[in-house]
Amino acid sequence: MTESAIAAPSMSRERVGFSAHRVSVIAVNTLTEAVRQKVFILFLLIGLVFIALAVFFAQFTFGEQMKFIKDTCLGVISVITTLIAIVGTAQLLPSEVENRTIYTILAKPVRRFEFLLGKFCGSLLLLLLSMAAMCILFAAVLWIKEQGMIRELSQSYVGESPAAHVEAQKQIEQIQTEVLDVELVKALVADLAKATLIASVTLLVSTFSTSLVFNVVVPFMVYVVGMLRGTAAEMWGAHRLFMAVLAVFPDFGLFSIADEINLGKVVPWGHIGQIVTYGVARTLVIVVAAHLVFSRREI
């Protein structure tokens, strides 16, 4: 982070109140730095390549093609955003400490909480940006596939009877319905909530650890444990002590609704709302915990 990026108010540290502007400046700078990182570009490129390759599911029937394309794209978006959330957030604080820019920033009238929140918001902007890029390509892939299928279908019905044309028109409408599936948005919202949560876990870890490897591995393990929490609750739900220990881990399995949406199920917005509420509540508390650790940390 550049020193000039943070405006230095003239008042003393004790009198400095919370400033959303300072948080936004730190967030924008964090985003600018993050998008320049090779690891982000690499992950994003991998995600985009995978999504673009999904268009080549051509050897199957219409229903299968759409299912496979959507499964692949949503799966890739979920994994890449999770990876970006972990790797992108893991190096935010260590890099500031290593480059010693943190001293310059905190010497200014910038609260530690603002600094931390700014970093976290920057990380969220990064997630939004990467997700938007992947979603745009996903939409393009669906559109290309849709056009190809309609063209193929129209050609196969050339010279057929009017009744056959009615049938063709029905199939075209079905393809268009499959492509313009607004339910997909719900899956993306849940994915974003999950990525935000894992980013907050990473932020918390990075407030007490200086090792980048540790900052990446621990959140990943938390993620795996979180994915297995549903299974554990089903199998060992009666063991209260065990479940009490597990309660500290977020249940990441609750965010997995992409499969259901892809299978044609209608997931109520109420359910999405509950998932997002759960994710936001967990995220807020973890950010507060990160603040508690970071505010006492000796830098």
Partner 1 sequence: MKLLVVIVLFGIGFALLPLENALRTERLQMKYGGAHVTFQLREAIGQNLAIALLAGMRGIVADFLWIQGHGFWEKREWLRQYRNIEVAVTLQPQSIMFWDLGQWHMAWNIGYGAFSDPKNRTKAEAIKREREWHEKARQFILRGIENIPNRYELYFTMGWLYFEKLSKDCDDPPCSEAFCKSADYLAMATSYPDAPQFVPRLYARALEKCGDLKAAYEEWKRLWRLDHSTTEQAWSIIEREIRRLEDYLQIPNQQRVFPQPTP
Using CB under 8 A, list all residues that contact partner 1. Answer: 59-60, 63-64, 67-68, 71-72, 74-75, 78-79, 82, 166, 223-224, 227-228, 230-231, 233-234, 244, 247-249, 251-260, 262-265, 267, 271, 274-275, 277-278, 281-282, 285-286, 288-289, 292-293, 296
Q: Which is nearer to partner 1, 99 or 231 (CB)?
A: 231
Task: Give the residue from 171, 225, 226, 165 showing the smallest Cα distance to 194.
Answer: 226
Q: Which is nearer to partner 1, 21 or 240 (CB)?
A: 240
Q: Which is nearer to partner 1, 150 or 267 (CB)?
A: 267
Helices (H), 182-247: 183-208, 212-236, 240-246
Q: Which is nearer to partner 1, 72 or 215 (CB)?
A: 72
Contact 43, 131 (CB under 8 A): no
Q: How far is the CB of 58 from partner 1 (least distance, A)?
A: 12
Helices (H), the chain: 20-35, 38-53, 62-90, 92-98, 101-107, 112-156, 162-179, 183-208, 212-236, 240-246, 258-262, 269-296
C-alpha 147/C-alpha 172 separation (Å) is 10
Q: Which is nearer to partner 1, 74 or 102 (CB)?
A: 74
Cα-based distances in Å from 102 to 86, 211, 299: 21, 16, 9
C-alpha 197/C-alpha 4 separation (Å) is 31
C-alpha 112/C-alpha 106 separation (Å) is 7
Q: How far is the CB of 28 from partner 1 (least distance, A)?
A: 29
Q: How far is the CB of 238 from partner 1 (least distance, A)?
A: 14
Q: How far is the CB of 296 from partner 1 (least distance, A)?
A: 5
Q: How far is the CB of 260 from partner 1 (least distance, A)?
A: 5
Q: Which is nearer to partner 1, 147 or 274 (CB)?
A: 274
Q: How far is the CB of 4 from partner 1 (least distance, A)?
A: 33
CA angle centred on 227, ends 66 and 89, rounded to 5°: 90
